[in-house]
Structure 1
């Protein structure tokens, strides 16, 4: 007797940005049967749709509630929000949609990732979007409708004018990947509401008979026959289930989730697995390594003139600049935020913030499971600011931000810097503030790095080294973080993964 035919051709593990893209694209072929598993819910808080409410979502059921271990730089753990539910982090993020400057993709080949330059990704960036700007090189027929805020907050437009007065370039399309300078950034907001990956990609596909979506489904481990991945074991509704894949399993659970699933399945560093009590199925030392993220330091200002209430995502204008003239591309981002973020100096009721982030950090950390229990919290250690060059980039950005704040365009607002404040006048005190009081910009990448060397996890076709029927297609495969809020890059990776799977 022949074995029963697997119920699915492809199983996707993770219903965030990448999982929603792949579920939609793969099921355009009616002959391909797809199962999408998501640990979170299909029903998210109503505030998900309201752009100014996003800061409240990181403490809601739409987020995992992760924190790092104590960081050497700050002496404290750092919250690391990531989405839980259909749409993943695209349902709780700040809705910035930018590709990052093309130069920040040049190093992706350093570990052997071939065919992943900015130009290689450009058709997939274009496939994701309908860009209202009409700028050259932008997409015109994609599921995501993206564009800048039509009426940015007045304090933010004043910041933009101040940046130009300070000598920075006024960009036309800062989201497109070709420009440096300052400009309104594209947002995932349509008709005043957030547009997540679930809204743009998954919802139109839900009626297809060849797509099943199971929420509240925590992936326990991958199932194998020899070296071939043939399915997934997962928990849902208080029971353990298995699902079989005839072609492939694709991990789309993000930089934290995908690496953890591999480790729970016995794939990873032998030391990490044994420490967690997991038998080694396939030694792959790069799993969980190369974790890095954008840290962000905030300069908080109070103003005498009232700042208008937010209508959009709070951070509607950003700039890309170089920390030194010798940099081979922009490596610092400044983002203007229309609320005074909480700070360690003094509460501010009325004001704004300038966020400063090193966009191409050199610091690298790690991620590992704490036990074989799929519901146990992971051990996350990005090792922020362990490389001095990251601090140098932030100091350059803070100097630029202070110069902008002194420009005439902001004089009428009656500005006073509260944090770090005028007492932080020398490099030592400013550096101490940045190290102690930074936060995560919530862009973790790299834990299943793409390449062909001993520390990479997937090859240039996103296949896990040494195994069959298993790929990873999310932010975890990024070898080096680009100079952007990373969601647009994840969409493009997933669009390309759909092509790779269609050809396999």
Structure 2
């Protein structure tokens, strides 16, 4: 017998955005919210200890998705996504960077009214308490407490000196008005422990009578009455449960989970859905398209002279944001310094060393997410089409050369055990390295694109086109991926979504 739970709102996914939406919707006691999560709560040291995050990949708190083999790299790539309360915010590297103001102005120019930088800045500010920043840009009373590392690793200090010697400016706050430069960037580490929207937003809200959390719930499908979404069917510890939404269902399952649930519920490209054995209910061609991710290169590791000081922080406390070529309107490279070896499984690493993690933040390549089968437990097919566009490869080659130049400066002389083999290599050799070094940055986005054209999935109020009672609010709605790590922008999306659900078009002062 199916158990039924009835609430005003059903929010799918207790990840970065879902925790924000659920907490904000229940602040005034006027609504009831059910927050549905496939994973379990986990506040153990394996999650809360900042430098142990790489060990979470492939465990029970990771969906452990994988791509199809990528044509340009020859590899199948791991796509880590958090499967626990807090979502990927409970398993990621804790960097907290918003993106370039121009990212959001570009969204608005593409028809996403109300998503320009001036309109979303109040939501960024609302989310945080950041007394170290300019109050015109930074918040003073929000739940999150982003801040630079309290005590930089010695090699992190060296990297900032080296970047400056190589001609890159130092920037005090990359979440302020200027994105370019090297900085000790904000991290979601508070009092030595990981902070996420689960700890900052959800945990303080769980005592409210209008908020219920349903963990270990695998959503099978959304349910509809005509064109209205009425709720969802799930399985919780082997028991069927129907979650009925009196007002709306909000998908916050991420750029993989949200389109996957839409597709297996019959919402998406009709012919493609039916070939997978699912009955098409609403033809929406854009679902699963426009899939984007940032690439980070692994293996650009320089051998050190011997053992290094113990790791600190999140292993990557400092970063450089720059242009792959002069005159760009938006930064497209991020070189994060990682004070330990960092490689793909198929790469060799020195026993002791430090790594320049070259990230490409403005990919031209676009992929697709499609159904593998009608089985709700079967993962989707993920084809990010990494390096599909030649300009992505060119940008990463430029990034490698910038990183090698920084690594050869005098501040690293005391640490460097040997030159990296790519020093002095020609473009062909660097291109070969790049193709082999590709790794997902874990920043999937764009697969339920916001917009007003025929291939968009949601409108600027995050309502799914052609349906009622259903919205999407997570990184999947980004028309173009932001030019930094996606977590902070996803928090902003959750904040703005909560206002839209409450009938507010703009943040109230």
TM-score by length of 2: 0.95
Aligned residue number for residue 371 of structure 2: 369
Question: Do 1:99 and 1:176's aligned partners in 2 also have CA atoms closer than 8 Å?
Answer: no
Return the alpha-carbon distance in structure 1 between the equivalents of residues 5 and 396 of structure 2: 52
Question: Do 2:5 and 2:242's aligned partners in 1 also have CA atoms closer than 8 Å?
Answer: no
Return the alpha-carbon distance in structure 2 between the equivalents of residues 452 and 294 of structure 1: 25
Question: Do 1:104 and 1:360's aligned partners in 2 also have CA atoms closer than 8 Å?
Answer: no
In structure 2, stretches of 5+ residues that fail to align are: 505-509
Which deviates more, 110-119 or 306-315? Answer: 110-119
Aligned residue number for residue 418 of structure 2: 416
Return the alpha-carbon distance in structure 1 between the equivalents of residues 175 and 18 of structure 2: 23
Does residue 446 of the first structure (1) align with residue 446 of the second (2)? yes
Aligned residue number for residue 325 of structure 2: 324
Deviation at 1:179, TM superposition (A): 2.8
Aligned residue number for residue 129 of structure 1: 128
Return the alpha-carbon distance in structure 2 between the equivalents of residues 176 and 216 of structure 1: 39
Deviation at 1:415, TM superposition (A): 4.0
Aligned residue number for residue 183 of structure 1: 183
Return the alpha-carbon distance in structure 2 between the equivalents of residues 146 and 250 of structure 1: 27
Return the alpha-carbon distance in structure 2 between the equivalents of residues 292 and 69 of structure 1: 14
Deviation at 1:6, TM superposition (A): 8.1
Aligned residue number for residue 59 of structure 1: 58
1:287 counterpart SS class:
coil
1:172 counterpart SS class:
coil
Aligned residue number for residue 282 of structure 2: 282
Question: Do 1:45 and 1:62's aligned partners in 2 also have CA atoms closer than 8 Å?
Answer: no
Question: Do 1:132 and 1:146's aligned partners in 2 also have CA atoms closer than 8 Å?
Answer: no
Aligned residue number for residue 507 of structure 2: none
Deviation at 1:117, TM superposition (A): 1.6
Does residue 172 of the first structure (1) align with residue 167 of the second (2)? no
Return the alpha-carbon distance in structure 2 between the equivalents of residues 138 and 174 of structure 1: 11
Question: Do 1:222 and 1:262's aligned partners in 2 also have CA atoms closer than 8 Å?
Answer: yes
Aligned residue number for residue 263 of structure 1: 263
In structure 1, stretches of 5+ residues that fail to align are: none
How many residues are aligned here?
498
Alpha-carbon deviations, 1:219-265, whole Å to 9, x = none?
Answer: 11111111111111111110211111111000000000000111111
Alpha-carbon deviations, 1:128-182, whole Å to 9, x = none?
Answer: 1111413341111110011000111111110110000011011010233523100
Aligned residue number for residue 74 of structure 1: 73
Deviation at 1:111, TM superposition (A): 4.0
Say which of 384, 389, 392 aligns to 1:390: 392
Question: Do 1:252 and 1:473's aligned partners in 2 also have CA atoms closer than 8 Å?
Answer: yes
1:182 counterpart SS class:
strand
Aligned residue number for residue 468 of structure 1: 468
Aligned residue number for residue 313 of structure 2: 312
TM-score by length of 1: 0.96
Deviation at 1:120, TM superposition (A): 1.5
Aligned residue number for residue 337 of structure 2: 336
Return the alpha-carbon distance in structure 2 between the equivalents of residues 308 and 149 of structure 1: 16
Matches within 5 A, 1:27-38: 27-38=26-37
Alpha-carbon deviations, 1:108-130, whole Å to 9, x = none?
Answer: 23542222122211000001111
Aligned residue number for residue 92 of structure 2: 93
Question: Do 1:39 and 1:215's aligned partners in 2 also have CA atoms closer than 8 Å?
Answer: yes
Question: Do 1:20 and 1:202's aligned partners in 2 also have CA atoms closer than 8 Å?
Answer: yes
Question: Do 1:305 and 1:414's aligned partners in 2 also have CA atoms closer than 8 Å?
Answer: no
Return the alpha-carbon distance in structure 1 between the equivalents of residues 12 and 50 of structure 2: 27
Tell me how large the CA RMSD over aligned residues is. 1.5
1:158 counterpart SS class:
helix
Aligned residue number for residue 22 of structure 1: 21
